Amino acid sequence: MAEKVANSFWSNKRVVVTGGAGFLGTAVVKYLRDRGCITIFVPRRKEYDLRTREAIRRLLDDARPDIVIHAAGIVGGIGANQSRPAEFFYDNLMMGVQLLHESWKAGVEKFVAIGTICAYPKFTPIPFREEDLWNGYPEETNAPYGLAKKMLLVQSHAYREQYGFNSIFLLPVNLYGPGDNFDPASSHVIPALIKKCVEAKRTGEIQIVVWGDGTPTREFIYVEDAAEAIVLAAERYNRSEPVNIGSAFEITIKELVEQIARLTGFDGKIVWDTSKPNGQPRRKLDTRRAEREFGFRAQTPFGEGLRKTIEYYLQAMADRTRESVLR
């Protein structure tokens, strides 16, 4: 990651970070503070249910933000997307569309919408270029989520054209890192695999079962790198054209499983459940626009980020065990 230094841009800014207590949002809040932002408001769901207009208006009245960074979302892996497609569509759409609209009405200076790589068509030429975003339907297992987030891009263009509202739309690739969600019911591929391998090693299991056949590829970005990209875009980028946020590093799921098994010390058999979906066949981004427009390039090597994520999970498990013993 680039050196984190204070920037006068943030010295007098009031910023709302939705999802600011979550995985990505926590990293964004930390990076904002490192850049010199003092007034950061993080709405919590029990106080501000962002699916409702009344809660959004109350949030904007309470926080009076200059900038809104919308990082909140209902997210999950393939299984969660398959079992809750309506919820993923409705909740994400209602949060985003109403929040952007009410931010414009409230006179917010800038709106930063965090989209998703799931918005891209299922069969997108590699590397994914922002110009290809509308050339097909997203991969079926996460299309409701991807399309709900994608509507923020449409809205950004429309509100800039009609009202001159300054909003931007960023497309982060798959995130990973310390603080990720390791719940097997809703986690993404890296935390799910780490948990499987660690648990199998702990219990003496001789094999783990992984969805699909291992052939799909994915690109991942370390969460702190993604936070840096979002903050730099908030500072420097003022157009509605979408921007990819990624590392430009591609790895097959098979290679990923093998690397996680090696780093966690699991030496058992890997069984592929081909009755389960693979998801999108390939994911690798063209990240040149982010570097050109606001000087972002991911810095964390994948192996280093993966080791830090595993270390975080092992420490969290040890802390939970210690706490249960002391009770």
- Rounded Cα distance, 39 and 24, in Å: 19
Residue 306's CB is within 10 A of a number of other CB atoms, namely 22
Least confident of 4-8, 73-77, 103-107, 319-323: 4-8
CATH number for the domain formed by residue range(s) 9-318: 3.40.50.720
User: Domain-by-domain residue ranges, the chain?
Assistant: 9-318
Considering the entire predicted model, what is its pTM?
A: 0.92
Angle at 43 between CA 42 and CA 47, to 5 degrees: 150
Q: Is 41 helix (H, G, I), strand (E, B) or coil?
A: strand
Question: Quick check: is 31 catalytic?
Answer: no
Which entry of 31, 120, 145, 176 is annotated as an active-site residue?
Answer: 145
Q: What is the pLDDT of residues 192-231, one digit of tens each?
A: 999 999 999 999 999 999 999 999 999 999 999 999 999 9
Task: Tell which wins on pLDDT, 84 or 252.
Answer: 252
Task: Tell me the per-residue pLDDT of 138-181, one tens digit each, with 9 for 90 and over.
Answer: 999 889 999 999 999 999 999 999 999 999 999 999 999 999 99
Q: Are the C-beta atoms of residues 310 and 194 closer than 8 Å to each other?
A: yes
Read off φ and ψ for residue 160, nearest 5 degrees. -70, -45
Tell me the backbone φ, ψ of residue 214, rounded to 5 degrees.
85, -5
pLDDT tens per residue across span 259-307: 999 999 999 999 999 999 888 889 999 999 999 999 999 999 999 999 9
Instruction: Give me the pLDDT at residue 2, please.
Output: 46
